[in-house]
Amino acid sequence: MTWEKFIQTESSKPYFINLEKFLTEEEKTKTIYPKKEDRLNAFKYAKLEDIKVVIIGQDPYHGPNQAHGLAFSTLDTKLPPSLKNIYKELKDDLGIEISKSGNLTSWAKQGVLLLNTILTVEASKPLSHKNKGWEIFTSKVINLLNELDQAIVFILWGANARVYKNALNHPKHLVLEANHPSPLSAHRGFFGCKVFSKTNEYLKLNHVNIIDWQIK
């Protein structure tokens, strides 16, 4: 199975066709993020068999020049609060200096799947595309990943990501949980979670090249 084949199969199903109809109608009168060509960006950088880490987010940033199809990643020079906290934890965990760039493409290229469970949003309206079909698609992505017989670390930040824990039961996979990095919950179990070092320890243990978490 390849990402291309998987996406082709899913896009021909009724739920996905209805989702695309919904998005086409919305685009006539509203601003939708990310741009159409970026919505499936998460699947463009690493082959299915090269996925090492899956970080599950909720829905895209809803401001201009932010979302580009990778969970938590932004093209904006102003870093969103959740990403700032991710960088703080990264520095505390691995000593990596806080980057001025919010673009996490360098992670994606190494096999980190930055997967939002909802892949579009209306401008300035978080969760506006909830229950429109994206959750069906991303659940199928997670089920597909769970079947892979390779070392994968799943990072679940917050209650919305933890919903998927029950779908993850492959003995070769590691599931790491923590509170969401948003300012509302970061001090209640996100800071100090050390997911970055734990991830690399697990990959190393399984003879898989570790992730260079430095933002390039």
Judge whether 26 lies within some domain.
yes
Contacts of 149 (CB under 8 A, 6+ apart): 170, 172
Neighbours of 76 (CB within 10 A): 17
Would you say 101 and 123 are in contact if contact means Cβ atoms under 8 Å apart? Answer: no
Would you say 154 and 54 are in contact if contact means Cβ atoms under 8 Å apart? Answer: yes
Give just the sign of the alpha carbon dihedral 76, 77, 78, 80. positive
User: What does the pLDDT read at residue 64?
Assistant: 95
In this structure, the dihedral spanned by the alpha carbons of residues 106, 108, 112 and 116, taken in order and rounded to 10 degrees, is 130
Judge whether 17 lies within some domain.
yes
- For residue 68, give the CATH number of its domain: 3.40.470.10
pTM score, whole prediction: 0.97
Boundaries of domain holding 145:
3-206
Catalytic residue chosen out of the listed positions 50, 59, 76, 149: 59
DSSP, residue by residue, 135-157: HHHHHHHHHHHHT--S-EEEEEE
User: What does the pLDDT read at residue 121?
Assistant: 98
In the chain, the percentage of residues whose pLDDT exceeds 70 is 100
pLDDT averaged over the chain? 97
Cα 27 off chain centre by: 24
Judge whether 216 lies within some domain.
no
Per the structure, the count of domains in the chain is: 1
Would you say 102 and 84 are in contact if contact means Cβ atoms under 8 Å apart? Answer: no
pLDDT digits (tens, 9 = 90+) for 156-215: 999 989 999 999 999 999 999 999 999 999 999 999 999 999 999 999 999 999 999 999
Q: Has 93 been annotated as catalytic?
A: no
What whole-number distance in Å separates Cα of residue 178 and Cα of residue 157?
Answer: 5
Judge whether 215 lies within some domain.
no
Judge whether 172 lies within some domain.
yes
